[in-house]
Structure 1
Amino acid sequence: MTTLFISDLHLSPQLPKTTDCFVKFMREEAIHADALYVLGDLFEFWIGDDDPSPFAAQIKQEFLTLTQRGVDTYFIQGNRDFLLGKRFCKATGITLLDEHTVIDLYGKKAVILHGDTLCTDDVRYQKFRAKVHMPWLQWLFNRLPFFTRQRIANKIQGDIKEVKSSKSLDIMDVNQNEVEALLRETGTDLMIHGHTHRPGTHEFSVQGQPATRIVLGDWYQQAQY
């Protein structure tokens, strides 16, 4: 039995090699799995389930093919694709999960998430995140013409790159107290997330009990899963 986890692919029409890697992964690896969990930032920027582009259609078709073959597929929104919603899920057969979700991983409980909610030292980002997750603001944004949303998204992407270039790496990493608090809250000792682009396995203790945090890598350099 195999359960696969991926995160931070940042798929984009401008990165065809990454898309090719994703297609190969879906057809050669994911197709043989029991389940696939996508832990956010599948896309470089997703501005709506009504994206009419051939690129969006291609990605949707890969997921539809996978779910039709019987592979249970789950998605947690990231900070780049938090607008992915019910319409995408209906078109592909995937299941959208809460931002923090506890799963049964072959008899062991694990909490899975994108990971950006753990980066509480980055106060500026957390304020931005709270703002763009307001339901009324998303409702308004989704009703703008698609080309208008594209222009806004391009502006936001430029601003994000500029801000990130001036931040320290430590601020953009997880806060250990936040990690331990979520493990206590969910009653788990295993956490799997992405977002930080710092793949690794971290062993520590929570209230005297061993715990593990697994960080998934991004797909800028290699297709890690």
Structure 2
Amino acid sequence: MPEGWQLPSLYELVAAPHWQAVEFISDLHLADADGATFAAWARHMRSTRADAVLILGDLFEAWVGDDARGEPFEAACVDVLADASSRLQVGFMVGNRDFLVGGAMLRDAGAIGLQDPTLLVAFGRRVLLTHGDLLCLADVEYQRFREQARSDAWRRAALAMPIAQRRVVARQMRDASQQRQQGAAATTTDVDPGAAVAWMHAAGCSHMVHGHTHRPGDETLAVGHERHVLSDWDLDASPPRAEVLRLTRDGFSRVPPVG
């Protein structure tokens, strides 16, 4: 049975009693501090009235290591996160593009690291949060790469490279991934519904929130088991894409970013 069918150890995040709203975003793929997507994200983080913003992976197109966090683009992103963290709870779960985010970046940003998956307990609900890539079981080639890239040995070797070399490698990995996905079937690049239901059942959840697939929407996978897929963000696309999933005591809703 594939490893992804088994629910990994759960990290639990319990909402504070005074919280009124939790927001989820993912797959912004930020790469340019002067870009429209960065500007929209920065406005939202500085203006949202949510009590928590939980980022479920791929905030960055590539994060090449925390030792790059002082460079202009990375520093601008950390500043936005740190400003938001002074007013609300920011949670950060790594995705397949920014899995080299580490403790130094999170500390400077004032964010808490979210393990994948994380169980959110809020407003009388139990919600399973995941980036989503671990559940794409049909993409066997990617799952092999993911296991290798998350190993301590691979990370040590990658971080030993000069930052400029890491950026080149990151671009090569991104290009290879995009080419492979263009030829892949839709079922290959989506989460396995049976595995998703198995995870929710094991965690005692009726709802799952994930990103990664860039196919936003709500879907009942089985009776009493619903998934909420986050939108990617691209403000330069036609039409532009940017959406926030919000959870309150009244349930889930989809809203545009503030501003």
TM-score category of the 2 structures, normalised to the smaller one? over 0.9
The runs of at least 4 consecutive aligned structure 1 residues that moved more than 4 Å come to none
Matches within 5 A, 1:1-225: 1-13=20-32, 16-29=35-48, 32-51=49-68, 52-69=70-87, 71-205=88-222, 209-220=223-234, 221-225=240-244
What are the superposed Cα offsets for residues 128-150 of structure 1, whole Å, 9 maximum, x if unpaired? 11110111110221122111111
Structure 1 alignment gaps of length 5 or more: none
- Contact 2:54–2:90 (8 Å) recurs in 1: yes
What are the superposed Cα offsets for residues 83-130 of structure 1, whole Å, 9 maximum, x if unpaired? 111011110110001110101121211110101111101111111111
| Residue 54 (structure 1) shift | 1.0
- Contact 2:197–2:221 (8 Å) recurs in 1: no
Structure 2 SS opposite 1:19:
helix
Structure 2 SS opposite 1:50:
helix
TM-score w.r.t. length of structure 1: 0.93
| Stretch of structure 1 that moved more, 110-119 or 137-146 | 137-146
- Report the structure, 1 or 2, having the larger helix content: 1
What are the superposed Cα offsets for residues 14-53 of structure 1, whole Å, 9 maximum, x if unpaired? 8701111111111222xx2111100000011111112142
| Residue 204 (structure 1) shift | 3.6
| Stretch of structure 1 that moved more, 35-44 or 50-59 | 50-59
- Aligned residue pair count: 219
TM-score w.r.t. length of structure 2: 0.81
Structure 2 SS opposite 1:196:
coil
Q: How far apart, CA to CA, are the structure 2 residues paired with 1:194 and 1:159?
A: 20
| Stretch of structure 1 that moved more, 113-122 or 155-164 | 155-164
Q: How far apart, CA to CA, are the structure 1 residues paired with 2:142 and 2:158?
A: 20
